[in-house]
A and B are shown apart, each in its own frame.
Chain A
């Protein structure tokens, strides 16, 4: 990783704004899909693909790339938009989201887009897969392997038992090359997480499961990068970063409102959202 300068932070803020605009355009065009989660994760995706990850858009299957598993596949508009902005495919293709024949399936499917590390959508299985990848790498290259493994989880999918089975195994196997980022936006499809199924005290729970924990503002690039760097320096245990995110970030009428979890903006709402995002630049 290079030095994180103020200039780079400013550049990433601009890039995240472009990604947010793409997300709005894709969703309006698709007429269905999720809005709040993708907008909330735009800064973290930008930091990952434009600063943190070791990857090569011109050679997506490069064997030594870092691995990133998106567990909550429903936020794929931000995943696709970031990949396009990073150069994996043309921006125009984003407008095919959810349409018949598209590579950009409603939830990610690696049969259609082979360089995705996995398919996802059904919640709760991503962390296990990231652990499997990290374990396999540890078997081959030992614990000081240069590869890093990242897994992005939603807070809602912490309701799934499968996630906690994985949490236990990650600690047991002391996977120090694994960094999990939880999109702590406090909403899920039918309401606020603490009403549907309380997760707090989340950090203490994860600590009790023998994970190294950090809590950050998921919209602060310096905090995102510092937390990942710190996580990589941890030895003998996996790391989790709880990123406090605002769902719908950047669009005032979506921010913090769970009703935007699973629906797209209309054309008019989209225009309003685009204007807000552009003005913020």
Chain B
């Protein structure tokens, strides 16, 4: 059922599945990208260790720029460096970049089509105790409306590493969405990764009745929910979307055609995020009933990641209820 063509982590269903933070994958990936290309430079706004850029800064101090707590400057300086042939990676919390500096990203990076990589860490309510000010749940909406921008939302640390390496190679602006908390390792080093391609991670042998489209670490909850349904004899397929822009239209349309019902899962406002992006594709190509799992018009708050995921309706049981609801809406 687990799509082993993709060489996923077989220990995914174990209670002691390995957990690593998605941001750590970025930190390791950036060092590798810098090893590969001397034009890779890093800029940070006083959140080096939090965003895991410190690994790069330590190895390549002369290619690292510390701009201080100044996110507007962070991305505009990066734009200037890109104009001179550099491949700048900027990192901060997503709440501040692209949260605070959105117009600077729009004008100096997207409008200019400069290959700056904007890395936003600490997304979702699972940031936890820091509370709502530091939990970015609007970043996908903000960034995916920008022409020229590529938007990547890896599901685990290994995918984050690959996303970082791919971002360095592509001569376009890229946003990479990271998260703070340690989350299950879903993929392996051998799992393929391609910008613009979605992948079916959970694929029951019988005809699927519902398709889940998920992004980020919540893919784990989506797979657990699908697994529970398959044990009841109801097939639910799970598509991992780590490339939100460009979006894999074909995979999403095919899933809707096959299942006739879609549930989107993301740790983000349901307005403007992955669910919206999927709905935009489906209403124009193959409309089917859809349920959206995510945050519904609320800000986050303090708590443990687990408490908050459950409170805002993104736990396994919430996804299961959404599956039932969407099945009930099929013809």
Interface residues, chain A, with chain B CB atoms under 8 Å away:
67, 69, 109-111, 117-122, 124-125, 128-137, 139-140, 161-162, 165-166, 168-169, 173
Complex Cα distance A120/B83, Å?
14
Chain A neighbourhood of B108, CB < 8 A? 118-119, 125, 128-129
Chain A neighbourhood of B84, CB < 8 A? 132-133, 136-137, 140
Complex Cα distance A150/B321, Å?
60
What are the 7 A-B residue pairs with the smallest beta carbon separation, nearest first?
A132-B80, A128-B76, A165-B73, A129-B80, A136-B84, A165-B70, A132-B77
B103 near A: Cβ within 8 Å? yes
B104 near A: Cβ within 8 Å? yes
Write the nearest CB–CB distance from A201 to chain B, whole angstroms: 24
Complex Cα distance A173/B41, Å?
15
Complex Cα distance A121/B107, Å?
9
Write the nearest CB–CB distance from B149 to chain A, whole angstroms: 14
Complex Cα distance A169/B73, Å?
9
Write the nearest CB–CB distance from A217 to chain B, whole angstroms: 30
B83 interface neighbour in A124, A132, A139, A166, Cβ under 8 Å: A132
> What's the dominant secondary structure at chain B's contact region?
helix
B113 interface neighbour in A111, A132, A137, A161, Cβ under 8 Å: A111
Chain A neighbourhood of B182, CB < 8 A? none
B73 interface neighbour in A117, A122, A162, Cβ under 8 Å: A162
B78 near A: Cβ within 8 Å? yes
B104 interface neighbour in A135, A139, A162, Cβ under 8 Å: A162
| Contact, CB under 8 Å: B72 / A119 | no
| Contact, CB under 8 Å: A128 / B72 | yes
0 or 1 for each of B50-92: is its CB under 8 Å from A? (1 = yes): 0000000000001101011010110011111111111010000
| Contact, CB under 8 Å: B65 / A125 | no
Write the nearest CB–CB distance from B314 to chain A, whole angstroms: 36
In addition to A132-B78, A136-B85, 10 A-B residue pairs with Cβ atoms within 8 Å of each other are: A111-B113, A125-B79, A125-B104, A125-B107, A125-B108, A134-B80, A135-B81, A136-B80, A140-B84, A166-B76
Chain B neighbourhood of A111, CB < 8 A? 111-113
Chain A neighbourhood of B70, CB < 8 A? 165, 168-169
Whether A139 contacts B63 in the complex (CB less than 8 A), given A131-B80, A132-B83, A168-B68, comes out as yes
Write the nearest CB–CB distance from A150 to chain B, whole angstroms: 13
Chain A neighbourhood of B113, CB < 8 A? 111
| Contact, CB under 8 Å: B79 / A132 | yes
Write the nearest CB–CB distance from A211 to chain B, whole angstroms: 16
Whether A125 contacts B83 in the complex (CB less than 8 A), given A139-B41, A139-B63, A166-B77, comes out as no
